[in-house]
């Protein structure tokens, strides 16, 4: 806890609340080829959209008739907002990628075609390459009362604390390469790059964090260091595609 105590700008409660999931999170991010336990199956509401998906017409969002309007208006509006966002995301899918839009939790991202979904305890969404197990992407969320990621401190400080306390076990040798801030549609994001060295492998990783819907979102992706040059552009596309959006209804 020493590092956390010396990072006053970071909300300690965020990382303390995440401690119960730290073991499985470490397994996901930075362990070797056998780090995917196949359990904790959950039912989710998630769009996986490929390029060329049929567009959603505005007329699909019209509820006709006074009786139906009264009964279905809220549900129809919520559904159409989500479907419209999913359609918007699908129009931006790059060749060689697929899209995930989670309308329940309010986030979306692209991932390389062919990666498969796996279930990891403590993670909201995980996809990985079936041959190269260190090539993966995951989304992790914890509740927060903060409204903006900048409330936790500057990018380098927040990224370093997150890596040290959540993304990597103490046995890993960690190097934070860089951290930066950008704004997308009025929402602040921090992105960062780091290297984690273990006795039998080195993982080169990228991350993105933001806040919305009362949650602190962390997306991480990476690859074995030996494949970094081949994979870095694809992984950067994953990071650049990550979006958090407001969830309406419930």
Three-state DSSP string of 114-140: CCEECCCCCCCEEEECCCCCCCEEEEE
C-alpha–C-alpha distance, residues 238 and 54, integer Å: 23
pLDDT of residue 92: 65
User: How far does the chain reach from its first CA to its final CA, in angstroms?
Assistant: 36
Beta-carbon contacts of 145 under 8 Å, excluding residues fewer than 6 positions away, are 214
Does residue 126 carry a pLDDT above 70?
A: yes
CA distance linking residue 126 with residue 103, whole number of Å = 16
pTM as predicted? 0.69
| CA gap 187, 237 in Å, rounded | 19
- The answer to whether the beta carbons of residues 181 and 42 sit under 8 Å apart is no
pLDDT digits (tens, 9 = 90+) for 128-172: 999 998 999 999 999 999 999 999 999 999 999 999 999 998 899
The residue that leads in pLDDT, 36 or 80, is 80
Residue closest to 217 by CA, chosen among 83, 71, 18, 32: 18
Q: Could you tell me the pLDDT band of residue 250, with boundaries at 50, 70 and 90?
A: low
* Residue carrying structure tokens 């073991």: 23
Tell whether the model's pLDDT for residue 75 goes beyond 80: no
Give the integer Cα–Cα distance in Å for 235 and 179.
16
SS3 109: strand
For 185-231, the DSSP string reads TTEEEEEEEEEEE-SS-EEEEEEEEEEETTEEEEEEEEEEGGGHHHH
- Predicted confidence band at 248 (pLDDT cuts at 50, 70, 90)? confident
Q: Which of 64-73, 76-85, 199-208 has the highest mean pLDDT?
A: 199-208
Split at pLDDT 50, 70, 90, the class of 102 is very high
CA-nearest of 233, 193, 204, 36 to 116 is 36
Which region, left, alpha or beta, applies to residue 82 given φ > 0 means left and ψ of -120 to 50 means alpha? alpha
């Amino acid at each position: 806890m020493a590092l956390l105590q010396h990072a006053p700008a970071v909300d300690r409660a965020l990382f303390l609340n995440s401690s119960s999931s730290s073991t499985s999170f470490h397994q996901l991010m930075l362990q070797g080829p056998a780090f995917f336990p196949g359990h904790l199956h959950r039912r989710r509401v998630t769009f996986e959209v490929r390029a060329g998906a049929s567009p959603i017409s505005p007329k699909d969002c019209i509820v006709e008739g006074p009786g139906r309007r009264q009964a279905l208006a809220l549900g129809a509006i919520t559904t159409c907002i989500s479907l419209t966002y999913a359609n918007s995301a699908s129009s931006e899918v790059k060749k060689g990628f697929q899209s995930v839009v989670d309308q329940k939790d309010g986030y979306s991202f692209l991932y390389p075609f062919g990666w498969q979904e796996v279930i990891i305890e403590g993670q909201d969404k995980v996809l990985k390459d079936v041959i190269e197990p260190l090539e993966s992407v995951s989304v992790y969320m914890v509740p927060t009362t903060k409204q903006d990621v900048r409330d936790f401190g500057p990018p380098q400080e927040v990224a370093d604390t997150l890596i040290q306390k959540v993304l990597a076990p103490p046995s890993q040798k960690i190097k934070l390469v860089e951290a930066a801030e950008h704004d997308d549609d009025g929402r602040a994001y921090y992105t960062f790059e780091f290297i984690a060295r273990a006795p039998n492998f080195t993982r080169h990783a990228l991350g993105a964090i933001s806040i919305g819907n009362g949650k602190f979102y962390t997306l991480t992706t990476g690859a074995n260091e030996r494949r970094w040059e081949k994979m870095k552009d694809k992984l950067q596309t994953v990071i650049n595609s990550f979006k958090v959006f407001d969830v309406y209804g419930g």
